[in-house]
Structures are given as C-alpha cells and as structure tokens.
C-alpha cells in the first residue's frame, strides 16, 4: 500500500474547485477529475506509467485558476481518451516499456543491487510466511515490530486488507500479533484500528456530485513503539495513516497521522488522537477524532510545503520519541518530497524537526522511482533507518524492489552515514531473488527467530499481501 501513486494523486488532489457545484460545467469538471484519478490508479495497477497523465493536469489547473471551465472540460475529455487508449494498449500487451539496450541512446537504469555490494537476495526456501487467522481476505502487509522488555515478547502491527471482490469496496485495518519465541511463530491479537464506514453529506464530499457519498476511513502503514520515557499509561504507542477511501480511490486531502497509547500492547488502547496533519488538511474533518494536535508542516520551513504525511516509523530513547515521516507534495506548492525526522522531547513535551533523512532528489540521483516506507530501530545504542526502494519502468502496480538499511550517523540532525561521494553508506540491501515485488521491512535486534520481516505483493494470487520471516539480521 505504500504506492508510488501517492505523489501522483497528490498532484490531482491539488486541482482547485471553483464555482458553484450546481453549475453543469463545474460539476462536469469535478466528475472528470475523479475519473482521471481512477484512471491513474488503473494504469499503474496494469503496469503502466501514469506520470504523463498527471503532468497534463497542470494545464487543467491553469484553466481552472482563470475559471475557463469550458477549456478544462475539453482538456479533461482529451486526457480521459488518452487514459482509455493507454489501458487498451496495456491490456493488449503493447503498452509495456522495453528495457534500454546498449547503444539505444536511452539512459541505463541500474537496479539497486548494482549500486550496493551488501545485497541479500532472498530465496523462496529462505522465507517462511506468517499465517494469521481472522484478518482480511486479501492478506496482511506494512509490518512494524517492537520488543517488550517487561515480558520478552515481540509485537507486530500490520495492515489487514479486506475487499469485496467485484465491488469497489476496500477495508484496511491495523492488526496486532505477538510472538513469545523471538519471532519464530506468531499469534493474532485482534484489531487496534477498525475501518469505519461513513456517509458523507453532499456538501463536504470530495469532488461532490451533489449527492451523499458512501466512504470508508481506512488505516494503513502503522508503527509500534515502547516509549520507556513516557507516562506509564502511554508507554506503548501506535501511529498510522488514517485516510478517506471512496470505492477504490484514496482521498489524501482527508487524512492525518493518528495516535493511540496504552500501558501494554494488550491494552486498553486509548481513543484515537489526531497527532499530525499537513498543509492540505481539511478543517471539516475535525468532526472525526477531534481537531489535530500538531500541524507538522509548521514545525519548520523545510517541510512547510508538505500537503500531508504518511509512512511513519518510530523509535524511542530514555528521554525522547523519534518519528520518521514521508512528506506528500503537490506541484502547485514548491518543494520536494522527502523522508524527515521529528523528535518529541519528554522533558519539554515539545515536538521539533531535526532534518531530512532522504529527499526526492536523492532518489532520482540513484535512478529510483521513490524511496519510501521508513522504519527506525536501535542496535547497541546506535540508530538505524530502513527504507523501501522502488524503480521506474518496472511492471506491476506496486514496484517495491526491496529494503535498504542505513545507519543514522547523527540523530540530532538526522544525518545518515554516507560515503565520500555523498551516497548513502548502505549496510544491507534486501530483495527477493525471484524478482517478486517486495519490501516494507521491519526488524529489531531481539527478533533472532524471525530476522527481518519482509512484505511481498503478489497480485492475482490467492492473497495479494503477505508477510515473511527471512532469518536476515544486521
């Protein structure tokens, strides 16, 4: 679920909505923008490149800014025709992108394993699937692991995915599991965050068509931490990305980073708190889970352009809690995507921005499509970052190409360990030997029975989303 389409949808969500919704021209624009969003997702799911479509929306934004609704409608018709043609090519097999050949004049795009010597290629007989009953019919994904020093147990949160096949209905919830044998086996411990079905009044619905809309508040990409410096009833924390889903579409302008706390992973878990929101947050969502506590984009000018946040990771020390976040951007607001680091000082109870861990320009430098899915952990008193890499031009809707582990050299400034040429000093790069799309890893030093837990995306199989133990350690 940690998809490259996150940033492309942020582009489309930035389309201004001018005029009265009862105006047929305005209503036509709103409906067609929604169709384009769906088309972008369909193209990526089919293995195509949706960026040319998203780029054309710049001209639509310009037309809407000068209130040229007729021109915007005509341009959207052209874009929708291009979407139909692209999908037809992909279905017939004519829309795939061939790999660049020597002398073709196209830039060579090396895989991550060509950039990093410390590569672990996971063979199928090295991976054991984590099987948990009572969760979504499409499987589990987005793992995050933490060790409980009071009981010796490992705890795992993850996204539980349920769909009603044949219908545009998706429920994603935060599941919880535990292990008493260092990760060799796991048992289910229920749901922490349930998906919530709602009916949105016509006035406040995204791209409203003048009628009420059936929607679902979904929960993805969680992280769990034992925060030993917090008050006793808040030492266990779970954060995650809460957002609004309508059918297959994800509306990130209605989203935030949620927080729940508990004295123990067994609970009781607190009510949801709306911890972080970005520049694109809509105030009418204050009615759900209260008003936001922190407008994170206002913590520093370096992240003031972030329209929303996702992919949280967490790690705690004696006196502070650290959270890594992915910044979602929109072209109408200058600034690049990044993964950055925040700190909650327990003595002052104040949040601060420490710096960027990885930026979009760095991903492009390595010729990755994206660096995403951050996780944090400590080993021997040293902090580390795990990220998932994607690459442009690869097939399938979610081109995760594995996980990289990098030491955080200076936690106070979020500076990673780097080589003399400025590139990241990658401790280990983990990927599947058979080329299956995977990543979104989690690990803690106490997980000697499981090693790294690795997620695989297998579209069209019995389960789309699966988690595996690997035995890989650092």
**pLDDT tens-place string over residues 96-122:** 333 322 233 333 344 556 566 788 989
Residue 235 reports pLDDT greater than 50: yes
Predicted confidence at residue 253, as pLDDT, reads 85
Residue 143 reports pLDDT greater than 70: yes
The pLDDT of 76-94, averaged and rounded, is 68
Q: Which residue has the higher pLDDT, 33 or 202?
A: 33
Predicted confidence at residue 97, as pLDDT, reads 32
The domains of the chain are located at 5-92, 112-469
The pLDDT of 247-267, averaged and rounded, is 93
- Helix, strand or coil, per DSSP, at residue 73: helix
pLDDT tens digits, one per residue of 173-223: 999 999 999 999 999 999 999 999 998 776 644 555 567 788 999 999 999
Predicted confidence at residue 438, as pLDDT, reads 86
**What single string gives the DSSP state of each residue in 301-367?**
GGGTT--EEEEEEEEE-SSEEEEEEEEE--TTS----EEEEEEEETTTTEEEEEEEEEEHHHHHHTT
* Structural contact between residues 333 and 307, judged by C-beta atoms closer than 8 angstroms: yes
Predicted confidence at residue 19, as pLDDT, reads 36
Average pLDDT, the chain: 83
Specify the DSSP class assigned to residue 149. T
Q: Which residues pair with 139 in a beta bridge?
A: 161, 465
Predicted confidence at residue 45, as pLDDT, reads 67
Residue pointed to by tokens 């909505």: 17
pLDDT over 90 percentage in the chain: 50
d(CA 242, CA 416): 29
Whether the bond between 268 and the residue before it is cis, its omega within 30 degrees of 0, is yes
Q: Max Cα separation, the chain?
A: 65
* Structural contact between residues 224 and 240, judged by C-beta atoms closer than 8 angstroms: no
Give the best-scoring range by mean pLDDT among 78-87, 233-242, 427-436, 462-471: 233-242
Predicted confidence at residue 210, as pLDDT, reads 64
Predicted confidence at residue 71, as pLDDT, reads 76
Residue 6 reports pLDDT greater than 60: no
Q: Which CATH architecture has domain 112-469?
A: 5 Propeller (2.115)
* Structural contact between residues 195 and 163, judged by C-beta atoms closer than 8 angstroms: no
Q: Poorest-confidence range of 2-16, 32-46, 62-76, 396-410?
A: 2-16
Predicted confidence at residue 335, as pLDDT, reads 75
Q: Which helix (H) or strand (E) holds 420?
A: none
């Amino acid at each position: 679920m940690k998809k490259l389409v996150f940033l492309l949808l942020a582009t489309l969500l930035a389309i201004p909505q001018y005029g009265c919704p009862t105006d047929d021209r305005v209503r036509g624009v709103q409906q067609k923008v929604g169709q384009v969003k769906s088309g972008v997702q369909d193209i990526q799911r089919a293995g195509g490149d949706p960026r040319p479509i998203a780029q054309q929306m710049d001209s639509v934004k310009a037309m809407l800014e000068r209130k040229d609704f007729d021109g915007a409608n005509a341009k959207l018709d052209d874009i929708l025709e291009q979407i139909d043609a692209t999908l037809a090519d992909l279905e017939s097999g004519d829309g795939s992108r061939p790999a660049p050949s020597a002398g073709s004049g196209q830039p060579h795009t090396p895989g991550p394993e060509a950039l990093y010597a410390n590569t672990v290629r996971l063979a199928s007989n090295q991976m054991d699937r984590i099987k948990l009953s009572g969760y979504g019919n499409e499987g589990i994904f987005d793992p995050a692991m933490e060790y409980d020093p009071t009981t010796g147990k490992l705890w795992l949160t993850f996204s539980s995915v349920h769909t009603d096949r044949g219908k545009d209905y998706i429920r994603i919830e935060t599941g919880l599991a535990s292990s008493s044998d260092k990760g060799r086996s796991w048992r289910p411990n229920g749901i922490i965050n349930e998906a919530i079905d709602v009916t949105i009044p016509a006035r406040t619905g995204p791209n409203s068509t003048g009628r009420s809309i059936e929607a679902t508040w979904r929960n993805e990409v969680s992280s769990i931490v034992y925060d030993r410096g917090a008050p006793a009833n808040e030492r266990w924390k779970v954060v995650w990305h809460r957002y609004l889903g309508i059918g297959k579409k994800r509306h990130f302008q209605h989203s935030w980073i949620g927080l729940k706390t508990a004295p123990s992973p067994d609970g009781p878990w607190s009510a949801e708190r709306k911890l972080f929101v970005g520049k694109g947050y809509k105030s009418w969502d204050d009615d759900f889970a209260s008003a936001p506590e922190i407008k994170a984009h206002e913590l520093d000018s370096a992240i003031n352009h972030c329209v929303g946040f996702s992919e949280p990771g967490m790690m705690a020390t004696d006196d502070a809690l650290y959270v890594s976040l992915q910044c979602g951007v929109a072209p109408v607001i200058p600034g690049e995507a990044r993964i950055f680091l925040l700190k909650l000082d327990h003595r002052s109870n104040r949040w601060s921005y420490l710096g960027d861990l990885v930026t979009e320009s760095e991903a492009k430098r390595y010729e990755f499509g994206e660096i995403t899915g951050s996780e944090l952990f400590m080993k021997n008193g040293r902090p580390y970052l795990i990220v998932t890499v994607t690459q442009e031009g690869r097939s399938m809707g979610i081109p995760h190409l594995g996980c990289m582990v990098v030491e955080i050299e200076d936690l106070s400034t979020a500076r990673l360990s780097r080589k003399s040429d400025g590139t990241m000093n990658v401790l280990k790069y983990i990927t599947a030997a058979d080329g299956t799309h995977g990543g979104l890893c989690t690990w803690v030093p106490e997980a000697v029975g499981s090693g790294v837990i690795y997620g695989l995306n297998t579209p069209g199989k019995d389960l789309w989303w699966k988690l595996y133990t690997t035995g890989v350690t650092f």
